[in-house]
């Protein structure tokens, strides 16, 4: 059975995973190690690239050793090595790429350069034997992407954000209201018990016929609301719940319309924002009501991880693909052009 070791280092998580599986069979995650840099960047309210790359290079080697140990494998038993090639921070991508290429070269095994977004897109399907045709919504800190997926590597873009990504909107609004980085989980926590209709925030581009998104108007609307509040603490839960509801509403309505227009009644969510419990519940009940199938990444696979990169690499390795050792990193690598 082919075994792939992958490194994810596109932003502020250093991750190593080992995934194995035969073509047409369910893949197994043999190890999935993540070393989060959140405490390192928290004092700055966002990711500092120089600190991120330095931390990746320090943590990567022990993390590879831990992954091999937890999988009960020796390096010589790995059949292919992979790394995220983009999109992401150049200085961070380089660390994981160089390490994976060095291992591939030393062990005389193939190397695979993986698109981070493809990793997210495939993450809800790690435990199925075949990728179903579906509408994919990738919602992360850097991207908001709606796609039609007909098969592996057969993707058509339906829409994307014209300004902020959904996760970026969560992070920026969190910063505005004094919640720590990363904003998404903190906004969600503070929204609990809040009234999602307390503030009527705008739903950007909701009634446009296309599938693009815009969250900058929503962000500005929250900014203009803040000085009007008598006491932010008293309104915090309502504010967070109303902001969250506006983001979820647009994502849901556009995704459901995409399913209907494309005639594919199967929706899959991935990326860090798909961790959000309110979003998961809202999508689940809407899909149940319409008789649509919904696939969600398991929580451990929503935010950045290497198992999704190893799985994407495994599928490509199973079909005989690999990449040259001099293949470049691409900080702006698109999933579909
Ligand atoms: O996929 P991811 O880990 O990294 C990127 O590829 O960007 O996504 C990170 C994003 C951040 O913006 C973070 O605030 C958001 O996902 N996020 C959430 C939640 N957990 C993480 N947003 C809303 N609710 C959450 N529970
Ligand atoms: Zn990501």
pLDDT digits (tens, 9 = 90+) for 238-292: 999 999 999 999 999 999 999 999 999 999 999 999 999 999 999 999 999 999 9
3-state secondary structure of 201: coil
Closest CA to 226 of 196, 199, 254: 199
The pLDDT value given to residue 46: 80
The pLDDT value given to residue 140: 95
User: Nearest ligand to the C-alpha of residue 167?
Assistant: 1
Residue 337 pLDDT exceeds 80: no
- d(Cα 168, Cα 213) in Å, to the nearest integer? 13
Task: Say how many CA atoms lie within 13 Å of 219 toward its Cβ.
Answer: 17
Residue 315 pLDDT exceeds 80: yes
φ, ψ of residue 160 to 5 degrees: the values are -155, 175
Place of tokens 């969560």: 170
Closest CA to 164 of 232, 214, 235: 214
Ligand 1 pocket check: which of 10, 173, 303, 312 to mutate, most ligand atoms within 8 Å of Cβ?
Answer: 303
Residues of each domain in the chain carrying CATH 3.30.420.40: 3-124+301-318, 132-298
CATH number 3.30.420.40 is the correct assignment for the domain at 132-298: yes
Peptide bond into 134 cis (omega under 30): no
Q: Look up the CATH superfamily of 3-124+301-318.
A: ATPase, nucleotide binding domain (3.30.420.40)
Distance 266 CA to ligand 2 centre (A): 22
Give the residue whose CA is nearest to atom 21 of ligand 1.
272
pLDDT tier for residue 333 given thresholds of 50, 70 and 90 = very high
Averaged over 23-33, what is the pLDDT? Answer: 95
Ligand 2 ion: residues within 5 Å (CB): 140, 304
Ligand 1 pocket member 86 (CB < 6 A): no
Ligand 1 pocket check: which of 38, 41, 124, 140 to mutate, most ligand atoms within 8 Å of Cβ?
Answer: 140
The pLDDT value given to residue 255: 98
Which tokens belong to 279? 């979003």
- Provide the edge-to-edge strand list for the sheet that holds 80-86: 28-36, 13-20, 3-8, 80-86, 111-115
- Provide the edge-to-edge strand list for the sheet that holds 293-296: 154-160, 144-151, 134-139, 266-270, 293-296
Ligand 1 pocket member 184 (CB < 6 A): yes
Averaged over 151-163, what is the pLDDT? Answer: 95
pLDDT digits (tens, 9 = 90+) for 66-84: 999 999 999 999 999 999 9
User: Checking DSSP bridges between strand 28-36 and strand 13-20, what pairing results, if any?
Assistant: antiparallel
The pLDDT value given to residue 32: 98
Q: Do residues 268 and 145 lie in contact, with contact meaning Cβ atoms separated by under 8 Å? A: no
Ligand 1 pocket member 88 (CB < 6 A): no
Ligand 1 pocket member 12 (CB < 6 A): no
The pLDDT value given to residue 182: 85
The pLDDT value given to residue 328: 95
The pLDDT value given to residue 247: 98
- d(Cα 283, Cα 258) in Å, to the nearest integer? 14
Percent share of the chain, pLDDT over 70: 100
pLDDT tier for residue 44 given thresholds of 50, 70 and 90 = confident
Give the residue whose CA is nearest to atom 13 of ligand 1.
184
The pLDDT value given to residue 39: 86
Residue 196 pLDDT exceeds 80: yes
pLDDT tier for residue 47 given thresholds of 50, 70 and 90 = confident
pLDDT tier for residue 194 given thresholds of 50, 70 and 90 = very high
Distance 158 CA to ligand 2 centre (A): 19
pLDDT digits (tens, 9 = 90+) for 197-225: 999 999 988 889 999 999 999 999 999 99
Ligand 1 pocket check: which of 37, 84, 86, 167 to mutate, most ligand atoms within 8 Å of Cβ?
Answer: 167
Distance 113 CA to ligand 2 centre (A): 15
């Amino acid at each position: 059975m082919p075994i792939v070791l992958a490194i994810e280092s596109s932003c502020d998580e250093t991750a190593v995973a080992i995934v194995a599986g035969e073509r047409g069979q369910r893949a197994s995650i043999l190890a999935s190690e993540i070393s989060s840099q959140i405490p390192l960047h928290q004092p700055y309210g966002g990711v500092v690239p120089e600190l991120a790359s330095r931390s990746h290079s320090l943590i990567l080697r022990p993390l590879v050793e831990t992954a091999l140990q937890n999988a009960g494998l020796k390096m010589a038993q790995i059949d292919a090595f992979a790394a995220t090639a983009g999109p992401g921070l150049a200085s961070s991508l380089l660390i994981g790429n160089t390490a994976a290429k060095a291992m591939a070269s030393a062990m005389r095994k193939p190397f695979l350069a993986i698109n981070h977004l493809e990793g997210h897109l495939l993450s809800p399907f790690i435990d199925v034997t075949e990728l179903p045709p579906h509408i994919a919504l990738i919602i992360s800190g850097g991207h908001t992407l709606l796609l039609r997926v007909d098969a592996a590597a057969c993707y058509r873009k339906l829409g994307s954000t014209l300004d902020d990504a959904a996760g970026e909107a969560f992070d920026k609004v969190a910063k505005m209201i004094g919640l720590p980085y990363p904003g998404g989980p903190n906004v969600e926590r503070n929204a609990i018990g809040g009234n999602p209709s307390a503030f009527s925030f705008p739903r950007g581009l909701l009634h446009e016929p296309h599938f693009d998104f815009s969250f900058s108007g929503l962000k500005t609307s929250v900014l203009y609301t803040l000085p009007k509040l008598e006491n932010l603490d008293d309104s915090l839960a309502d504010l967070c719940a109303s902001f969250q509801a506006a983001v979820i509403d647009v994502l849901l309505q556009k995704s459901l319309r995409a399913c209907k227009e494309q005639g594919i009644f199967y929706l899959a969510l991935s990326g860090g924002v798909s961790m959000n419990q309110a979003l998961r519940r809202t999508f689940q009940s809407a899909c149940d009501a319409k008789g649509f199938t919904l696939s969600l990444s398991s929580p451990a696979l929503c935010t950045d991880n290497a198992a999704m990169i190893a799985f994407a690499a495994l599928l490509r390795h199973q079909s005989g693909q690999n990449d040259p050792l001099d293949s470049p990193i691409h900080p702006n690598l698109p999933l579909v052009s």
